Structure 1
């Protein structure tokens, strides 16, 4: 009998040890199953919604230059890409005869002025009336000589092509000795610091656009550089594709952007007093947008509505409240009510 009692006592002690070991193992397993996540406390803030569009650069100052007379090119003084100043001589046509006509007209005017002086001798110059003076100028040929000189100078100037403004020469294909007519384009002159960008926005983005609003411009050639611009024109018509055409002046200088170059346009619009979360915090569950919060060590998913986005953040319209603690990492494979081991981090999103 005593032997049976001893064996029973040993069995009970063994069972208690197994139970204790099982509880301990379960605790260890529970700790292993707790997923490590990073969290922070959200609050209301100013959010900069970003609209991104594709645009095209054009020069505001871009003129095709023509000669006003027809003849052979005797000199070409510039080349493509060359910077020129306003009124700088770019090229000239054969004009020896026209230059001779100017010199001849100057001589004729000098003769007429000498004759006018002789005619004035017969008058007291202090009392010559304007009517009498004009009559003497006509009789002496001064007025006719002045008119002939002006005509000769105009005809001569038409053989000279000068820069209408300071800029850069482009599309120059003519060379010395070529015959050129008044319908032939000699070259194009552009001002590389007077640029405009044209782009379009969707109809539902119209409320975020206004004249005078600043934009950022990024070329596809160099994504590390961004330039500033200001919206100058909004076309008040929605086209058949649901787009509204916008124009903006580039205010940055020495951009290196070229006429016809494709660029990206970023329009930032501030949304005040909204909840802002980093993009890493938002995941998809059942094709809906979800942000996980943490409550008593458990992950809770929350369906949310997004009011806007930018490069690194979302503005949340519904689904969260201020002071919620949201999960920002380790949330890709989380499920509702999953146990988590949370570490608080600082929100380092730029919100721009």
Structure 2
């Protein structure tokens, strides 16, 4: 099987595929007929390219969505001999089975990771990864329906099972209060012998506090500017530009502003940011105030913080150490929401702080009621 895929030249191109003319989707059986087309697309590849262009401002999302689009387009045309715009609900049942067990050239380890003949899978996708992949594809199909390109979304019929049906379970990827306190304490034991050590310590110390106190996503923290911190009615707030360019405001404590002041003074800046300065909230590894950390650098720094904290727990708390080794940046966001809920913060306020579209999403961070139910149900014998 040949996989004629070339790397995109720029975000606005985003997708380059060579599909047979008979399978380009112009005559797809699920094409909308008679309506007003909202996009200038005649073929499936052109339609998908326009969908991807909506995410040109979010490189990480763009890469993930392009990968799923390429997989689906090639599978449909190569495995079924159908264009994307002819796929039915039954076809997607087969596709879900395929994602669980891609074979042959699809996952051939001898193929390169890049280029026109690259493999598209490293192996079977987990249940969670399959759910995510189909969610992305469903978003694509819904977009094409709204655009007047497709008549319907076959995945809209999909029954919620497995991971999707369990979405209301309490979130588990967070640090309890004791582990979080240990993380903070462990950073204070980092060496500060050289100037580079000291700079890395100050940056790491500030970054984990920023992520935890504000609940920012990785990309939001990487792109945050010092000028995004501002006062209103004597209280500090952080202006955040999140997913899809959605804007929000997050309350900021006096303690976090003190941490920001410490970080800025270390780099020779004024303690408090001004509204017109261009300095990054978290500066580049070299400490240049005009350059931001990349999202990848944010991720790696936080992973290092957790790894070092785990090393300090290895003998005394094996389970805690293992939790910290699994933890990543998003765990700090989960921890922020969970700890706010534990403190009795109104669920509506947590929803705004986390910028969740639905309060049902916020509800998965409520642990206190479960803790009380466990305490009242499991009566441990008193110790003599």
Give the TM-score of the pair, scaled to structure 2.
0.20
Higher strand share: 1
Higher helix share: 2
Q: RCO (CA 8 Å, sep 6+): is it higher in 1 or 2?
A: 1
